[in-house]
Amino acid sequence: MYDETLPTVEQLEVDELVCWRVHTRHAEMLMTQQGAQILSYQPHGEEPVIWLSGQAGYQKGKAVRGGVPVCWPWFGDLRRNPADIQRMHEGGPISPAHGLVRERDWTLLGIDSEGPAVRLEFTVDTAGEPLPSWPHPAELKLSILLDQGLQMTLSTRNSGDTPLAISQALHSYFAVSDIREVQVEGLDRCPYIETLEEWQRRKQQGNIAFSGETDRIYLDTPSSMSIIDRAWNRRIQLDVEGSTSAVVWNPWIDKSKRLSQFAEDAWQGMLCIETARVMDDLLVIRPGETHQMVLNVSSKPL
């Protein structure tokens, strides 16, 4: 007799990409080997927690719009990063924003079930697979645990003999009922960089509400923050270790028209809160040392 409580893992191809669909008694998750990118995550009987574009493409070498892209060894535009991070790049043409690993296949280290839970682990070893114009030995690993919630652990081991200066983010796209009705709780009084207004530094007053394009880098962030979604009667909670910065982004109407794989009205149903090590919170890892950033995502009724 088939035991419903035991998890299942199915490997499949979605267009050009190798993917895995994981089903546990709590939720279903789809992810791809390209970028070790989670594409969707939906607890049973609930709306999706992780948002995936209805216009997502699954082509080799092109990041899929949505899910949780991994930005490493820099976040955003390299030229906007601290000088120590820019110096790690040996010059020449700079690849697109968000670093060098979200559009390449990571190596699968293993898929293991742990009772009702499933853990998948992927790695990029830059000593064995050099990254263009970034000649530094490092072992990047993403460990994903699908249990009652969704846990992502992004770790970097400096396997070289000089310090590594990097910025990084788990660029999580969350599904919301209507961006105009939700709020982000937990960042009250945090300083932030307003990237839409000459990167001015400001301070958050109260919860974050949304009435236009929003693209902010929050600093000195706490270990816990939430999306409050009354229409869907739920709180998506982010519990974090090893990070004190987060990016909050919604493209709103005009920028949505310029985004790939993104319907013109898709801005209404998504919100990025990106668990990060960026700007003042950059990451410097000494030779032989390892840094871990952990994100636990859970959803619960309000």
Q: Which positions ≥6 away from 180 have C-beta within 8 Å?
A: 210, 211, 268
Q: Which is nearer to ligand TA6, 24 or 275 (CB)?
A: 275
> Binding mask 35-64 vs ligand TA6 (x if CB under 6 A, - otherwise)?
----------------------------x-
Look up residue 114 and give its DSSP letter.
E
- Kindly tell me which of 43 and 67 has the beta carbon lying closer to ligand TA6: 67
The CB-of-114 to ligand TA6 minimum distance in angstroms stands at 32
CB of 147 to ligand TA6, least distance (A): 27
Pairwise CA distance, residues 37 & 172, whole Å: 10
Residue 293 to residue 155: CA distance in whole angstroms: 6
Distances (CA, A) of 230 to 110, 180, 301: 38, 11, 9
> How far is it, in rounded angstroms, from Cα 54 to Cα 280?
35
Tokens of 96: 């697109």
CA distances from 220 to 103, 224, 246 (A): 30, 12, 9
Window 178-217: residues binding ligand TA6 (CB under 6 A): 215
How many residues lie near ligand TA6 (CB under 6 A)?
Answer: 11
Which one of 89, 98, 141, 157 is in contact with ligand TA6 (CB under 6 A)? 98
Q: Which of 145, 164, 147 is nearest to 156 (CA)?
A: 164
Binding flag, residue 103, ligand TA6 (CB under 6 A): no
By CB under 6 A, residue 247 contacts ligand TA6: yes
Please report, as residue ranges, which positions from 257 to 276 form the binding site for ligand TA6 (by CB under 6 A).
Answer: 259, 272, 274
Residue nearest ligand TA6, CB atom distance: 249
Site string for ligand TA6, 127-166 (x = CB under 6 A): ----------------------------------------
Under the binding rule (CB under 6 A), the answer on residue 73 touching ligand TA6 is: no
Residue from 43, 66, 73, 76 in contact with ligand TA6 (CB under 6 A) = 76
Nearer to ligand TA6, 68 or 297 (CB): 68
| Residues whose CB is less than 8 angstroms from the CB of residue 262 and which lie 6 or more positions away in sequence, other chains included | 53, 55, 65, 251, 256
Q: Does 249 bind ligand TA6 (CB under 6 A)?
A: yes
Determine if 277 is a binding residue for ligand TA6 (CB under 6 A). Answer: no
Q: In angstroms, rounded to a whole number, what is the distance separating the alpha carbons of residues 192 and 199?
A: 9
Burial category of 201 from C-beta neighbours within 10 Å (exposed 0-12, middle 13-18, buried 19 and up): exposed
Binding site for ligand TA6 (CB under 6 A): 63, 76, 97-98, 171, 215, 247, 249, 259, 272, 274
